[in-house]
Amino acid sequence: MKMMGSCSRSSFFLILFLLHSLFLTSLSEIRFSEIRNDDRPIVPFDQFGFTHSGRLELNVSKISLSNSNLDLSKVGFFLCTLDSWLHVLQQLEDGEIRCALQSDLVKSVYTFSSLEGKDSFSTLYSETDADQYNLVFANCHPQQLKVTMDVQSAMYNLDGKSGVRDYLSAGSTVLPRVYFLFSLVYFALAAVWIAFLYKKRLTAFRIHYFMLAVIFLKALNLLCEAEDKSFIKRTGSAHGWDVLFYIFSFLKGISLFTLIVLIGTGWSFLKPFLQDKEKKVLMIVIPLQVIANIAQVVIDESGPYGHDWVTWKQVFLLVDVVCCCAVLFPIVWSIKNLREAARTDGKAAVNLMKLTLFRHYYVVVICYIYFTRVVVYALETITSYRYSWTSVVAAELATLAFYVFTGYKFKPEAHNPYFVIDDEEEEAAVEALKIEDEFEL
């Protein structure tokens, strides 16, 4: 019963891994993992979408078992889909089997009963049933056995014609082209913005040049991600491009959240300085973005076999949510300040137009956050693993739309921050403010 209880807990861990891994695109590199004195009954490794010509290369060395007198047929590696694992859980609960490796629903790759005194093994497993699989290590003697080993795994698909290895999952193989095309779009967008700033250079503020920097960082981030995925696709290793990707991802994340905060406060185009409370928001957002990027690196580089992988994943999600909430406060403060000013400074029309602009921006920021954090995840959940790239395209299209909206609405104007108003428009704005209901945030 103890063993079954521990198996149930480990099963929950694996399910958690599978669900969390949906936030990341399934891909596989040639991974090297170190397991030290591990007594977990279930250790998840990689997730990968196989075609009908899938391959798994598994090389395990420096194997050390705390007790080699046990039944080692209940210790080893297997492949399974999420649906299969849910049925295996039911078999364990019903007592039909006492070990996941005994189930006919999983595909055994290698059991330690075949070691025969050796401390290493290499195996090549061919997968002809196209599906998304998880490589998992099972130890059905968790109370009695601790395992130490070095694991090198590589999962890939073979091209039907040339037999060339593709280390990207079946649903991710087009991602290098997707990221590269989007990087070109952002470089073109940066060129357009440069031309526009040159034309409107007399009315451009510092915030507009900061927007240009954000666009460039986004373009460079996508270009590095395209190269990162391209090298992984061909060789199973990023060849250093992952370092550049992490650097530009870090800079892009900080600059984007900072830009939203600065626009929300009206910095440079409405007022030349930040208030203390607005500075505090930046002092919260920037360190949180540093933590989020550290967590992202740990998640990507360590893999789900690590003891703290789920913890880092939860940290990343929590920090991301807090950042998304924090950037809304300056926009809310600006809306309230504009409402007060609209009733007191005699410039009702200008303030009403600014107020409407900030309201729209508030709604768009919420929609952008909701779409990229919730809708994209839902799309990944319901979409077949073969089309997992569609969620990436959806997220990038939403981000592009957000950048374009922000640039269009807050572009340099030829006159006073935004508008020239005649007397009739001023009177109409005063009446609109009188009858307007309170804007609910």
Predicted TM-score (pTM) of the model is: 0.84
The answer to whether residue 155 scores a pLDDT higher than 90 is yes
- Chain segment 409-439, per-residue pLDDT in tens: 998 876 544 444 444 444 444 455 554 544 4
What is the 3-state secondary structure of the chain? CHHHHHHHHHHHHHHHHHHHHHHCCCECCCEEEEEEEECCCEEEEEEEEECCCEEEEEEEEEEEECCCCCCHHHEEEEEECHHHHHHHHHHHHHCCCCCHHHCCCCEEEEEHHHCCCCCCEEEEEEECCCEEEEEEEEECCCCCCCEEEEEEEEEEEECCCCCCEECECCCCCCHHHHHHHHHHHHHHHHHHHHHHHHHCCCCCCHHHHHHHHHHHHHHHHHHHHHHHHHHHHHHCCCCCHHHHHHHHHHHHHHHHHHHHHHHHHCECCCECCCCHHHHHHHHHHHHHHHHHHHHHHHHHHHCCCCCCHHHHHHHHHHHHHHHHHHCHHHHHHHHHHHHHHHHHCCCHHHHHHHHHHHHHHHHHHHHHHHHHHHHHHHHHHHCCHHHCHHHHHHHHHHHHHHHHHHHHHCCCCCCCCCCCCCHHHHHHHHHHHHHCCCCCC
With b for 16 or more beta-carbon neighbours within 10 A and e for fewer, the 341-378 pattern comes to bbeeeeebbbbbbbbebbbebbeebeebbebbeeebee
pLDDT at 161: 75
| Position with higher pLDDT, 178 vs 434 | 178
Binning pLDDT at 50, 70 and 90, where does residue 3 land?
A: very low
The answer to whether residue 10 scores a pLDDT higher than 60 is no
Binning pLDDT at 50, 70 and 90, where does residue 283 land?
A: confident
- HSE, side-chain direction, 13 A CA sphere, residue 159: 9
| Position with higher pLDDT, 137 vs 416 | 137
pLDDT at 2: 42
Query: Could you tell me the two tokens for 51?
Result: 């075609």
pLDDT at 27: 55
The answer to whether residue 328 scores a pLDDT higher than 80 is yes
| Position with higher pLDDT, 427 vs 45 | 45
Radius of gyration of the chain (CA): 27
Asked if 131 contacts 388 with a C-beta cutoff of 8 angstroms, the reply is: no
The arithmetic mean of pLDDT across residues 161-174, rounded, is 89
- Chain segment 340-352, per-residue pLDDT in tens: 766 665 555 556 6
The total number of residues written for the chain in this structure: 441
Percent of the chain with pLDDT over 90: 42
